[in-house]
Amino acid sequence: MTGSSLSRRPLLAGLAAFALAAGLAMPAAAQGVSAVRVDVTPRVAAGWGPNADAVRRVMTEELRNQLGAGGRGGARLLVTVEGISLSSYAGGGGGRFSDGGGETDYLESTAILVGPRGEVLGRFPVLSAIPASSGGAWYLPDNEPRRLVALAKHNAAWIKTKVAGR
């Protein structure tokens, strides 16, 4: 054996130990999320009503599917939708829930990952910004609900990415 192979052994052993420790310390989402709860109360209070509930349903379903939620004993994911803004990208007239301008829709949320013993494993603020055209043709009567669904799915995908550590 050469001197260089001896000095590599501790390095390789250290890297292997680090990889093992990193595997054990993976985000709880990688080990399984037992429950997902999306709170839209701030948006309901701001006048979004049934639209906020639609965002809650879509995000809950998306996150459950993407994170494989439903197991026992895993972490719980609690998401609060803090802000929604639909721009008036077509004709300048604005929609019922528009902010009066721009071509980008926004959804702001905070996801908190809570461990089985109630410990906070992570806090993940997420701001989704997508083109207002993501909901399809602006002139169709269901344009705003489709835009809200697109926003909710986009935000859920970013939450999954942050929680899973990818």
Q: Residue 90 is encoded by which pair of tokens?
A: 């077509």
Asked if residue 10 belongs to a domain, the reply is: no
Asked if residue 21 belongs to a domain, the reply is: no
Asked if residue 160 belongs to a domain, the reply is: yes
Number of domains in the chain: 1
- Separation CA 37–CA 147 (nearest Å): 22
Question: Strands across the sheet with 104-114, in order?
Answer: 33-39, 75-85, 104-114, 120-131
Q: Residue 87 is encoded by which pair of tokens?
A: 């721009």
Asked if residue 1 belongs to a domain, the reply is: no
- What is the value of pTM for the model shown? 0.73
CB environment 38-69: b (16+ within 10 A), e (fewer):
bbbeebbeeebeebbebbbebbbbbbbebbeb
Q: What is the pLDDT along the chain (166 residues), one digit of tens a residue?
A: 455 445 555 544 554 444 434 434 444 444 579 999 999 998 777 788 888 899 999 999 999 999 887 777 789 999 999 999 888 755 444 444 444 456 899 999 999 999 999 999 999 999 999 999 888 888 888 888 999 999 999 999 999 999 988 5
CATH number, position 107: 3.30.160
Give the domain range for residue 125: 27-164
